[in-house]
Structure 1
Amino acid sequence: MDVDTRLLRYFLAVAEEGTLTRAAERLFVSQPTLTKQIRQLETLLGARLFSRSRAGMALTEPGRALAARLPALLTAWDQVLRETRRAAGRAARSLRVGFMASAANEATPRIIADFTRRRPGWRVEMRQAGWSDPSAGLADGDVDVALLRLPFPGQDALRTAVLFTEPRWVALPEGHPLAVRDVIPFRDLWDEPFVAAPPETGRWRDHWLAADERDGHPIRVGAVTDQPDDWLSAIANGYGIALAPASAARFYARPGVTYRPVSGVSSSRVGVAWAVADDTAPVVQDFVHACLASPRPTETEAETGTGTGTGTGTGTEATA
């Protein structure tokens, strides 16, 4: 009998979290989807794995037996996949780089150029991820390294280095009353409906709603989107506003949407992330070093959201 490893990962997440809600947030899936997958696994195995109650999900005896063996099995399988993909990348002289939206802004071409100087004959394969996967494929091993926005769910299990920060602005419908202001205090946006990432993205969604910077004020969500084009359309059509990096004014300019600086809200951080196992992988580390050596925006440029500056990147590593 063949069992999809995704079903096993879903089972293990529920076993470790104890509730479907927390497990769904960790896995970036909806709760109904997770429930369906658990039932599918139980049907395949012919055993009830959880006893369900209002208090959560408790493992049955067959569930405990499966949960005891799964971590080692999945870790071994992940290692097999990683080594196989890495061998394929070496054979093709290709590095897979996941990214979110505009990646590292104007620094991205310079990073790639620096990497190819360090690794002659190699090429970088850029793979864009939707907002439903804030790790840009790194958590699942689909890419070797990723350029993304911090924080994101699962970050603590990976290595990360901050490349630069930039202010968060607000994207508004062009005719919005606040669009005439030069700078908008964040407090003045609290009662506005926001265009948000899917709930399953957890910390990523909360960061872009500035959930921890509202003094407990409730959040209004006017629309949920997973891709930049859908995000822009929702804003232009008046379903809500959204916090965005200052650079979005350059990378995602379109009719019907205007961007304004915001005061009273923290900045956004752009980082590079890689798996702990790749601390000693020369090709991955060459890319990380190319990222850290790339110029970062000066303070003035970061405040205006323009240019890339000439300062030297000094990212800080977070241990897993």
Structure 2
Amino acid sequence: MDVDTRLLRYFVAVAEEGSLTRASARLYVSQPALTKQIKQLEALLGAELFHRSRAGMSLTEAGRALAERTPALLADWDVALRRTRQAAGRAARVLRVGFLASAANEATQRIVAEFTRARPGWRADLRQAAWSNPTAGLATGDVDVALLRLPFPGQDALRVEVLFSEPRWVALPSAHPLAARDVIAFEELWDEPFVAAPVETGPWRDYWLAADERDGHPVRVGAVTDQPDDWLSAIANGYGVALAPESAARFYARPGITYRPVSGVSPTRVGVAWTPADDANPVVQDFVRCCLAVRRSDCG
């Protein structure tokens, strides 16, 4: 019998969290979708894996037997998959660099140029990820290194070097009454509807809603988007406002949208991230060194 490794990952998350709600936030999937996948796995195995109750999800005897072996199995598969992809990259002389749209700025071109000088014949293949994938594919082994907005879910399990920080501004419809202000106090935005990332992104969504900086004031969500173009359209159409990096005013300028500085909200940071398994990977470390070299030149 062949079982999709995704189903096993979902099973492990629920087993470790003991809750569909917490597991869905950890996996960045909706709770109904996670419930469906767990039932699919149980049907494939012909065994009930969890006792379900109001208190949460607890393992059955069959579930405990599976839980004892699955983490090691998945870890071995992850290592095999990552090494296979890296071997293919080395053969093609390609470094896969994941990034979120807002994490790639003017410095990215200089980083790539520096990497090309450090590794003649190599190419940095830049791969943009949706906001529902805050590690830009790094956590799943789809890329070798990533340029990311901090903080992001799973950050503690990765190596991260901070490259720069910048203020968070607000993007709002140009016809909005606050658009004429030079600076907007964050508390003036608390009652505004916000354009948010998908709920499955958990801490990432909360950070860009500044949920912890509202003095307990509840968030109003006017629209949910996963891509920059949809995000811009939602704001321009008046469905809500959104916090954004200062650099978004340069990279995502669009008629009908105005960007303004915001006081009373913390700045955002960008970092280069890689897995601990790549601490000794010379190509990944060359890219990291290029990132740090550009950071030093900017600071100097």
Deviation at 1:311, TM superposition (A): 1.6
SS in 2 for 1:294: helix
Task: Provide Cα deviations, 1:238-286, integer angstroms capped at 9, x if missing partner.
Answer: 1100000000001001011110000111001011110011011110000
CA distance in 1, matches of 2:226, 2:206: 14
Q: Hey, what does 1:294 align to over in structure 2?
A: 294
Q: Hey, what does 1:199 align to over in structure 2?
A: 199
SS in 2 for 1:6: helix
Q: Hey, what does 1:92 align to over in structure 2?
A: 92
The amino acid of 2:158's aligned partner reads L
CA distance in 2, matches of 1:180, 1:150: 30
Deviation at 1:203, TM superposition (A): 1.2
Q: Hey, what does 2:299 align to over in structure 1?
A: 311
SS in 1 for 2:125: strand
Deviation at 1:295, TM superposition (A): 3.8
Deviation at 1:204, TM superposition (A): 0.8
Structure 1: gaps of 5 or more residues = 297-308, 313-320
Runs of 4+, deviation exceeding 3 Å: none
Q: Does 1:224 align with 2:212?
A: no
Q: Hey, what does 1:26 align to over in structure 2?
A: 26
Q: Hey, what does 1:170 align to over in structure 2?
A: 170
Q: Hey, what does 2:109 align to over in structure 1?
A: 109
Q: Does 1:260 align with 2:260?
A: yes
Task: Provide Cα deviations, 1:58-103, integer angstroms capped at 9, x if missing partner.
Answer: 1000000000101111000000001111100100000000000143
CA distance in 2, matches of 1:73, 1:26: 20
Q: Does 1:275 align with 2:275?
A: yes
SS in 2 for 1:148: strand
SS in 1 for 2:279: helix
Deviation at 1:116, TM superposition (A): 1.0
Q: Does 1:80 align with 2:80?
A: yes
CA distance in 1, matches of 2:289, 2:206: 30
Structure 1 vs Structure 2: percent identity of aligned residues?
Answer: 79
SS in 2 for 1:310: helix
Q: Hey, what does 1:17 align to over in structure 2?
A: 17
Does the aligned pair in 1 maintain the 2:168–2:246 contact within 8 Å? yes
CA distance in 1, matches of 2:133, 2:25: 11
CA distance in 2, matches of 1:151, 1:269: 8
CA distance in 2, matches of 1:287, 1:104: 15
Q: Hey, what does 1:212 align to over in structure 2?
A: 212
**Count of residues paired in the alignment:** 300
Q: Does 1:70 align with 2:70?
A: yes
CA distance in 2, matches of 1:276, 1:21: 29
SS in 2 for 1:52: strand
Deviation at 1:104, TM superposition (A): 3.2
Q: Does 1:237 align with 2:232?
A: no
CA distance in 2, matches of 1:162, 1:266: 16
SS in 2 for 1:83: helix
Does the aligned pair in 1 maintain the 2:102–2:149 contact within 8 Å? no
The amino acid of 2:57's aligned partner reads M
Deviation at 1:202, TM superposition (A): 1.2
Instruction: State the superposition RMSD in angstroms.
Output: 0.9
CA distance in 1, matches of 2:124, 2:43: 42
Does the aligned pair in 1 maintain the 2:164–2:295 contact within 8 Å? no
CA distance in 1, matches of 2:161, 2:21: 30
